[in-house]
């Protein structure tokens, strides 16, 4: 029962509005704020973090802005976009009013347009699942402490049923709000780490009205679908580009026409270094038969990366953005541990994952005649 809901309990909601420019205002009353202090209001647009401020006078503040479609904003006590706790709210034009204690922002009362009303309904639904989940965790831990395996299994089954209920509730929300931006955002946000077949997510994205597919949240939903397709066996691998040690940019698609093992590793990773001889052996055996390897390193130190390449005799193409666990290709493919790998056919389609030692050799022998 250590696992958490695959669907986030953070609720986000938007209503469906035409993409026309609008003005909006956010005014509020904040308790426990000194006079002439500031409150900070943040949002994201075009992949940029944007922060504004509003002076608080006698406990009151007013902020005005412009937009073209419903968007999420959040308010913090300090000038830190990542500060927690914060107050999330939504604007779609018109007036939004806030009544809050600055020391308990998530419990503020917010009134606004239809977007904000949607948020409150969606939030109530998801928080209900959160309460159920916490109850299950408590009961599971109690059963574990008593050594009651029967009860533990029963709670596990109960959790699985609730997980299905969460998925059904989310899909039902999308069906009822096909033109709502929240439906697009919910698809993107709630399926971040979901283990779902691309066909299922394609059906869910298909519930969205065409009118929101060109909006921020419609695009995010489609982005999630494309990412899932591109990391699933049977689908073309999602392309990425990173620099080799000389600085030359290498695209994954540059290697089409060969069987390619995309190998995620790092110089500091013991299991990766232990697996490298097996990859070297496979490369040497099949390199003349249309097979190659693309190493993607999770290193941050270029010198150590190059030293490991030389020491382990990794003579194939190597790339890295030197961001460590923040490697962009790793994030694209949801890589949370290494070593991991993907085997692609000559058209760039994923045909296998995480082949180790004899498994890699056996698969290559099967497909390379």
At 61 the pLDDT is 96
pLDDT of residue 14: 38
SS3 readout for the chain: CCCCCCCCCCCCCCCCCCCCCEEEEEEEEEECCCCCEEEEEEEEECCEEEEEEEEEECCEEEEEEEECCCEEEEEECCCCCCCCCCEEEEECCEEEEEEEECCCHHHCEEECCHHHHHHHHHHHHHHHHHHHHHHHHHHHHHHHHHCCHHHHHHHHHHHHHHHHHHHHHHHHHHHHCCCCHHHHHHHHHHCCCCCCCHHHHHHHHCCCCHHHCCCHHHHHHHHHHHHHHCCCCCCECCCCEEECCCCCEEEHHHHCCCEEEEEEECCCCHHHHHHHHHHHHHHHHHHHHCEEEEEEECCCCHHHHHHHHHHCCCCCEEECCCCHHHCHHHHHCCCCCCCEEEEECCCCEEEEECCCCHHHHHHHHHHCC
Query: What region does 44 belong to: left with phi over 0, alpha with psi -120 to 50, or beta?
Result: beta
CA-CA distance, 163 to 10, in Å (whole number)? Answer: 15
Cross-strand partners of 253:
none
What's the pLDDT score for residue 19?
A: 58
Give the per-residue pLDDT at 6: 37
Rounded CA separation 38/63 (Å):
11
Task: Give the pLDDT score at 50.
Answer: 96
pLDDT at 228: 87
Measured distance CA(331)–CA(228) in Å, rounded: 12
Asked whether the beta carbons of 54 and 39 are under 8 A apart, the reply is: yes
Q: Which residues of the chain have pLDDT under 50?
A: 1-18
């Amino acid at each position: 029962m250590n696992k958490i809901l695959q669907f986030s309990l953070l609720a986000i909601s938007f209503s469906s509005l035409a993409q026309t420019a609008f003005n909006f205002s956010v005014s509020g009353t904040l308790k426990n704020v000194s006079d002439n202090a500031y409150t900070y209001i943040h949002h994201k647009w075009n992949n940029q973090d944007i922060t504004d401020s509003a002076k608080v006078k006698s406990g009151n503040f007013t902020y005005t802005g412009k937009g073209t479609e419903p968007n999420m904003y959040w308010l913090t006590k300090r000038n830190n976009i990542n500060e927690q706790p914060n107050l999330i709210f939504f604007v779609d034009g018109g007036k939004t009013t806030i009544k809050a204690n600055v020391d308990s922002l998530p419990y503020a009362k917010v009134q606004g347009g239809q977007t904000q009303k949607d948020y409150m309904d969606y939030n109530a639904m998801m928080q209900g699942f959160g309460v159920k989940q916490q109850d299950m965790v408590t009961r599971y831990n109690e059963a574990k402490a008593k050594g009651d395996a029967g009860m533990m299994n029963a709670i596990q089954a109960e959790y699985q049923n609730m997980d299905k209920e969460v998925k059904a509730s989310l899909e039902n929300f999308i069906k009822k709000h096909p033109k709502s931006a929240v439906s697009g955002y919910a698809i993107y946000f709630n399926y971040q780490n979901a283990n779902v077949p691309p066909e299922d997510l394609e059906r869910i994205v298909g519930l969205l009205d065409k009118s929101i597919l060109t909006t921020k949240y419609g695009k995010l939903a489609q982005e999630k679908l494309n990412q899932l397709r591109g990391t699933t066996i049977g689908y073309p691998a999602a392309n990425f580009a990173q620099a080799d040690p000389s600085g030359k940019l290498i695209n994954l698609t540059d290697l089409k026409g060969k069987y390619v093992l995309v190998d995620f590793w790092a110089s500091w990773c013991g299991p990766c270094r232990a697996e490298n001889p097996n990859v070297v052996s496979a490369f040497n055996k099949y390199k003349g038969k249309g097979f190659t390897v693309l190493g993607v390193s999770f290193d941050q130190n270029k010198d150590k990366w190059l030293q490991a390449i030389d020491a382990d005799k990794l003579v194939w193409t190597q790339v890295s953005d030197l961001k460590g666990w923040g490697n962009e290709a790793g994030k694209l493919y949801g890589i949370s541990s290494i070593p991991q790998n993907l085997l692609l056919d000559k058209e760039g389609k994923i045909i296998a994952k995480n082949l180790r030692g004899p498994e890699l050799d056996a698969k290559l022998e099967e497909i390379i005649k």
